[in-house]
Amino acid sequence: MDDPDRHKSLRRRTYRVPLNQMLGREGRQDIMLRAIIVHGGAGRVPGDELAPRQAILDQATGLALDALSQGQAPLLAVEHAVNLLEDSDLFNAGRGGAMRLEGSVSLDASCMTSELDCGAVADLRGIRHAISIARLVMEETPYVLLVGRASTELALQFGHQLEDLHTERNIRRWLTARQALEQLPYKEQLRLLRGLASSAEETGRHGTVGAVALSDDGRLACGTSTGGIASPLTHEGRVGDTPLIGAGTYCNEYGGASSTGVGEAITRATLSREVVRLIESGLHPQEAAERAIERFAAQTGSEAGVIALDRRGRHGAAYNTSMMQTAFAHD
Ligand code: GLY
């Protein structure tokens, strides 16, 4: 399971989004007024889910661009895009959030703006739009991160409704996945999970969603939302990279980034911060994303993907899993 040569092959595999998806209307990357990039998670997706997932990602960029055109802040555009993905059970976020071993659906999310304002929730339960609660933490509290019951309470105070986020699809997956663990004592469960800890493909951690947006006044915002690890199941209380500023999400006046993949490794490498640091140093976001993923793979031997946007509206995406679905729109 833990192949010592695995890191070598990961180092060789950094994929880029095809060039024709990155070019502006004239075949070159223009400076853009408004722009939005979204991702639906890094890792293998069943063939029959590819087209419907892509349609929702495309729709999410359309919604976000409309919001930007109406003069809404980039953070609202990110929220509109991510809310749409959280509404679908095809992504591991919101309604599609994966179940933990003990049967709960527990969501993590974070958001950040180019003014360095940020907010996050971890282990949020019973509320679909985790990214919206992260925004509430940012805008309505003196905190950056709220965890567990306190995050649900905040959501209820601001008019969000409790709902059961268990879907038939996820219950079916949970019933199968828990067989591998449920008979084992706790310490054996931990040992098994540690053995699988570096691969987004094997562990099925994909499905996290994220977005980065730029408004015509040069402001940026980004956000990331997840149900955590999809398979095999993890224990109650585990928190990955998504709600951690710098790991799952990072933004400043130069650029913004949203990461997906193996949360523990992304956290060690502070992947989103690394991408923005490279943009700050003068790299195009595509170059920054590729270099950061290469470094991440070499440092951690693990798997991830990242999207990025800079203050000129230029974008990038890179991953070292077999795939990562993205969509980009600008005007
Ligand atoms: N990247 C999502 C997680 O590991 O929780």
Lowest mean pLDDT among 46-50, 78-82, 211-215, 309-313: 46-50
CB of 199 sitting under 6 A from ligand 1: no
CB of 261 sitting under 6 A from ligand 1: yes
pLDDT at 185 over 50: yes
Of 259, 201, 173, nearest to 43 by C-alpha is: 201
Q: Using pLDDT thresholds of 50, 70 and 90, give the confidence band for residue 39.
A: very high
Full-model pTM: 0.89
Structural domain for 104, as ranges: 4-330
Mean pLDDT along residues 165-182: 86
CB of 241 sitting under 6 A from ligand 1: yes
Round to whole Å and give the CA distance between 142 and 144: 7
pLDDT (0 to 100) of residue 197: 63
Mean pLDDT along residues 175-186: 84
Catalytic amino acids? 208
pLDDT in tens, 59-76: 999 999 999 999 999 999
Number of domains in the chain: 1
Which residue shows structure tokens 């067989």?
A: 179
Q: Which residues, other chains included, contact 203 with Cβ-Cβ below 8 Å and sequence gap of 6+?
A: 196, 197, 229, 230, 231, 232, 262
Q: Which residues, other chains included, contact 65 with Cβ-Cβ below 8 Å and sequence gap of 6+?
A: 34, 36, 77, 329, 330, 331
C-alpha distances (whole Å) from 133 to each of 14, 158, 268 are 33, 9, 25
pLDDT in tens, 103-149: 999 999 999 999 999 999 999 999 999 999 999 999 999 999 999 99
CA 248 to ligand 1: nearest atom: 1
CATH number of the domain bearing residue 53: 3.60.20.30
pLDDT in tens, 238-295: 999 999 999 999 999 999 999 999 999 999 999 999 999 999 999 999 999 999 999 9
Q: How large is the C-alpha radius of gyration of the chain?
A: 18
Mean predicted lDDT score pLDDT of the chain: 88
